[in-house]
Each structure stands twice: as structure tokens, then as C-alpha cells.
Structure 1
Amino acid sequence: MILVVGLGNIGDTYKDTRHNVGFMLVDLILKNYNFLQITNAKFKGELYKINSSLFLKPNTYMNHSGLSVKAVKDFYKCQRIIVIHDDIDLKLGALKFKKAGSSGGHNGLKSIDEYCSNDYERVRIGIGRSNNIKEFVLSKFNEDEKIILDKVLDRAKDALFELINSNDITHIASKYSLKVL
């Protein structure tokens, strides 16, 4: 079983913010595919099944995402975890793929590393950077940025399904990585 995790924060306050691009990609996928919603309070998140893959949106807020990921991973004995997250070190419009490594200061990744190890694949979606990082990641995209974001999310959706089916992150990285749109 493959577990795909879209990182973000729950609630209307955080909807459509830069920190929620992981949630946005999962939502885009759910619009386009038939899914089964799995309800279980111990998973601490919204869990969906598409074919033989699970898609998770943790309800624990970003800083405690690992609690939700671990609960689903342990219950379903997931062999692979793919995490979709925002990356301030990449410009808006950039898309990168990575296997394992450091959290780069991302609190959602730090939490997953703490509870599950850092041995998972990452779909990194660039959001850009500003001086006040906390304020910036919790801000919404402007209209021009949304146009770029929609293109990146569409490309990331295609790449994600190819990654799920191929298990070859090097190939996916060379085929789908974008510096900036």
C-alpha cells in the first residue's frame, strides 16, 4: 500500500494559503478520480482510497502531521510514503522531487521525520520566500500567482500518479521537475 500525504492546515483561516499546497493537490486529485472515503478517528485526518493508494490530509495542523501519518502508516502497513509539501526554497512555479533527506526547517516534515523517519519521497512545490516566513506561508496567493499555481498543481498531479505507478523518483524528477513556469 502507498500512502500519499498532502500537508496543510485545517480550517477556513488557512484555506488556500501557501502552506496548504499539499491539501490543494490532494483536493485536485479527488475532483478527478473516484475514491472511497475511510472514516476512522484514530487516523486524525481525512483519508481516501484510490485504487491501491491512500491519500491523507492530516487534521493535526502542520506541526503535528507525523501523528496522523504514523497512525495510517502503521494501520495499513504502508510500504511507501509520498509527502506533498510547500517549499520556500523554491520559487513559485518550481516543482521538485526528492527521496529522503532533511526537513529543511519545514515543521510538517520535522513531525513526520520524528514519528516515521525521513525515508519517504517528497513532491516539493515552490511557493517562494519573503522576509517574514511565518506570515508569508500563511498568506494566500494573489490572482497572478494562482494562475502559476494551477499549472504547477496540474503537472504535479500527473507526476504523482506516474511516481505511484513507477516507483522511480529519478525518472519522475528528470521528466517533471520545473525550475519556474
Structure 2
Amino acid sequence: MTEIPDWIEEKISFDKTRDVQDSHIVEVFLESDRPYLSNRKVASEIGLTKQGTTPRLEELVDIDILDGDSAAGGRIFWIHDDRSEWPIPPDVEVEPVQEEMTVNEYFNQLHVKYGLLAIGGTMIGALLMMAFTLFVGYEIQMPLINASGLLLGGVIFTVLGYSFVFLALGFGAWDRFSSQNI
């Protein structure tokens, strides 16, 4: 059994109606070799369900014994310590947050997606019009494709491509405008 620090002992109370006391939950954190724990891990250590453990952990967050944050679709918790930035121990040097956008973040922007659609649509339109030119110039006859169908497809894809250009420009301008006004 790990000794609970005085500042934590002062904040928790004994509740005879509960089988698992707050001190048991705190001991799980103090004995763990990890700086933070998920509610599922705490639940397995103290013998409660995840649904039964989560409100208890939130109560400890409310009285500043634990801190919590969302991570990987769930919540993680750690011992509250003013000397430390969340679950990172005070003796660990933290790298500065990267301000630059990653390639994945760049391509997930709406205006970039529309820009890529614009490029693709325009290229397909150009290829169809080039095929139309070759079909008419060399008088090629294909059983399933006629020259007028190629021309119509080329014009439609080109118009769609340019429409996506304007959408991309509009959404890009909106993103820039809204990020400057925040």
C-alpha cells in the first residue's frame, strides 16, 4: 500500500457506503509506472465497471486531485500537480508545439480538396477533347464511343473543373478571412 500525500489526504473523505474508496483510486495512480491512466485501466485495477469508475474519476477531477483530458476517443487522467504540465512529469523537458501544418492537415482542408477536384476534372475534360480531336482528325469510328459524346464529356468535365476552381478559391478565401477574425 502506497502512502498518499497529505495534500490529497486532506481533500478526500471516507464514505462507508462505498466498497471502493477514493483513496483506493488515488493509490492506483500513485503505484502506476505510467504518468496517466485511462478510465478503463483504473476500472480494471479497482474492480469496478468503466461506467462506475468514470463518475468517480470526474469527482476527483472536480476536487483537484486528478486532472483529465480527452485522448484517442476516450479520457485519460493523471495526478494533479501544479509543478507539471499535464501528464508529463516535472523533470521531463517538453518540446515546443509545432506551429507548421503537416501534409495531411494541408490536404484535409476543404479548399485544397476542391482544388484537387478542379485539377482532375479539367485534366479529364482536356483528355476527352484531345480524343475528340483525334477521332475527328483521323476519322476513327468506334462502336460504343462517338465523337460528339467525347466532345460533350470534355466540355462537361472542363466546366466542372472550373466550377471547382471557383469553389476552392471561395472556400480558401473564407478560411483565410475567418482565421484572421478569430
More helix by share: 2
Q: Shorter-normalised TM-score: what interval?
A: under 0.3
Give the structure, 1 or 2, with the largest relative contact order (CA under 8 Å, sep 6 or more): 1
When normalised by structure 2's length, the TM-score is 0.23
Structure 1 or 2, whichever has the larger Rg, is: 2
More strand by share: 1
